[in-house]
Chains A and B, each alone.
Chain A
Amino acid sequence: MDLFIAIFTGTIIAATPLIFAALGELVVEKSGVLNLGIEGMMLIGAAFAFWAVIAGLPMPVAIIAGALGGAAASLLFGVLALTFLTNQYAAGLALAIFGSGVSAFLGRNFGSAPIDALDRMSIPFLSDIPVVGPMFFRFDPMVYFAIVMFFVISWFLYRTKGGLILRTIGESPETAHAIGYPVIRIRYLAVLFGGLMAGLAGAYLSVAYTPLWVENMTAGKGWISLALVVFATWRPLRVLLGAWLFGGMTILQLQGQALGIAVPSELLSALPYLATIVVLVIISQNRQMLALHFPASLAKPFRPAT
């Protein structure tokens, strides 16, 4: 039972950064912009948050610093891709590399000592319930915040006029412009939101998940978030399930390594990536659903006619 609880809670925790990053990217892509630089924004967010902690700032401030770091990085992308209409693939890849470099630079003086991780909450009464308590009510606040963000984003996208505008801009910016919406401004907001969320994801990694500075500590989670969005066919619920699947596989392979299964550990480490991609490829086979949710103008530069 303890093992089950450990795997369950481990899964939820491992999925949390992916939920932040992938939901942020989902919003960006729904607006028709493809930002490939999640990995870079996460690293910058991680470095900012870690730096804030060792500078002695309180934890909430550190996490906000991480989010702002991600947003600042995304602004860079926004200027390139939305104002100067650079190729979005190139701008995003550049951001990924740039973020990795900047975070390594910032991290030179971080040392190798661990910091005090973000405290876990223990929700009164609820956390004392046997089994259910440790499974659901003893996480750190960011875990709950990620779930809240899932509901907020789903509600926003499908239940509000703002969400409708965002989705339709992703389908046809020309049409949205023609009926009078400020396409570029809305896309900037989406990109900044994606940056905030990627920054949060990075901050979660460096101050909660592995409270220790390691260069390139995101280890490809930004890329996995990107893949999650695509294979989840741009739907929030599937992003959430995909993130949990990835988290689950990560924890299972760690347990597998601990049990000494006779498979090289490198192969086991690759398992979560492989399994997530395979499952998501299978569920994204329905072309009609894909056509309905795919932002048709994705990665196409748009400049309003003058």
Chain B
Amino acid sequence: MPPRLELRNITKSYPGIVANDDISMSIMPGEIHAVLGENGAGKSTLMKIIYGAAQADSGEIYCDGKPIAAHTPATSRALGIEMVYQHFALFESVTVVENIALAVSNTFDLDALARQITELSNRYGMPIDPHRRVHDLSVGERQRVEIVRCLLQAPKLLILDEPTSVLTPQAVVKLFETLRQLASEGCSIVYISHKLDEVQELCDTATVLRNGKVTGTARPKQSTSLELARMMVGAELPEMHVSPSVPSEKPVLEVRGLTAPARDKYGVELKNVSFEVRGGEIVGLAGVSGNGQAELISLLSGERTHGNALSIQIDGRAAAHLNASERRKLGMAFVPEERLGRGAVPPHALWQNAVLTAHRTGLVRNGLVDRKGANSFAAKIIERFKVKANGPQASAQSLSGGNLQKFIVGREIALQPKLFLVAQPTWGVDVGAAAFIRQTLVDLSRSGAAVLVISEELDELFEICDRLLVICQGQVSPPLIRTKTNREEIGLLMTKVDRGNGTNGRGEVAVQD
């Protein structure tokens, strides 16, 4: 039997980098095949090539023994190759059934299609309502829509790109059940991930990529995590040093009864949010995206102000009515989720981006920018935080995600903040840089600063945080001590806040530790 899919010597370069270098692999019918690798290892590029959304510079792709010529997404779909993107390919302004109608190529009978969707989604244990608009759906529900859309085509090969990065642990279990059911029906699955435990649980075989090259193939169920990690990362990972925290007497950030309407129709209303962060500790806020994080972040950073000045206090002073600049004067620093566009101005040089928040440190005199000072300020950050960049003159957009994030975190830390807010600190950052950034956050807190980390990566939060909060539907749970909780408890809170004791008794429980 020929393999369902075979890649021979695929090479693809983009200006400046070779994304895929001579990659060969094959996948049999009914096989669940992992493509493992760090961010930037070339996984997503390879999937785009398999799906036809990008064309390889050289190399061949065979499906069921026949070469695929003139490869586009349309030809892939005609061959039964379907892809669930990491960032979903759904249109928000139309309904589920309309979205799916766009992808299936038969007649435009929405009612019949809706019945088909209901039937199929129930059969695979992931019910969805075909008549809801996509923007009203949670991320997990959107993923179901994507998968059901693929399943309707009776695919022979299903590609999933980092499918669990936005799911709760419970949803992941559910997804794996569906995938196993599919594989048992003969569908091949290509599962892209950088999470070793998932790959070991689900996949039959794995191809490991590093810097665009295949560094090994393995049977994950028979390999140890260490073997796989070595193939992925190449070198040993730096070890984290997390010393015990010594929280300050008084909280540096205190949020009391913060209630705020949703930003827009697609936002989430914040309901009576209360928590505090003390100097010397890291508090993590977990939650599935779209549960009010965006609202909370903009209220904390000062992008949005609040009428009740006392609902947010920084270092004992009412701050909810202050704008971002005034809050920074109180000693707050902030690293937003979007590096390009909010954390930095993409086409501007690093030294110019440094001035954006560091102008208070004497880089601007009499309204004029001290270019020399700004340059050396940026150069110091580049050196201290090991940013790989072409000097302070390099533009922000020329840096890789990890290096730009190191620069932005470094810039904010150079301001010696008392309170450090950071959203998704290691999103799209390679493993090495992520470890560095996490260590930096730990070191910052141990030197006395209060650090609040908002992240969807539970592993990350468990690694560095002293206390954990969970946000769900605009409500924030009481704090949990990291060493006394576990993934299951957090996972349950991520899907439903226990309303019985959700509003009082916060803070104290954990601080006594």
Contacts and interface: CB of A to CB of B under 8 A. Distances in A.
Chain B associates with chain A: yes
Interface of A: 160-161, 164-165, 167-168, 171-172, 174-181, 287-288, 291-293, 296, 305-306
Most buried by A among B89, B93, B94, B98: B93
A167 B89 contact: no
Contact of A164 (B54, B94, B264, B266): B94
Contacts, number: 57
A288 B101 CA distance: 25
A172 B91 contact: yes
A161 B101 contact: yes
A180 B48 contact: no
Q: Give the size range of B's interface with the partner.
A: 20 to 34
Contact of B94 (A168, A177, A287, A291): A168
B90 A306 contact: no
Given A168-B102, A291-B264, A178 B93 contact: no
B91 A288 contact: no
B427 interface: no
Contacts of A175: 89-91
Contacts of B458: none
Interface class of chain A by DSSP: helix
Interface in B71-93: 72-74, 77, 85, 89-93
Given A167-B94, A171-B93, A291-B265, A306 B74 contact: no
Contacts of A164: 94, 98, 101-102
Given A161-B101, A164-B98, A178-B73, A305 B93 contact: no
Contacts of B48: 305
A178 B73 CA distance: 7
B53 interface: yes
A244 to B, nearest CB: 27
A139 to B, nearest CB: 34
B73 A179 contact: yes
Contacts of B108: 160-161
Contacts of A293: 93
A168 B103 CA distance: 12
B248 interface: no
B55 interface: yes
B153 to A, nearest CB: 11
A306 B94 contact: no
21 contacts: A161-B101, A164-B98, A164-B102, A168-B91, A168-B93, A171-B94, A175-B91, A176-B102, A177-B53, A178-B73, A178-B85, A179-B73, A179-B102, A180-B73, A180-B74, A180-B103, A181-B102, A288-B265, A293-B93, A305-B54, A306-B54
A287 B102 contact: no
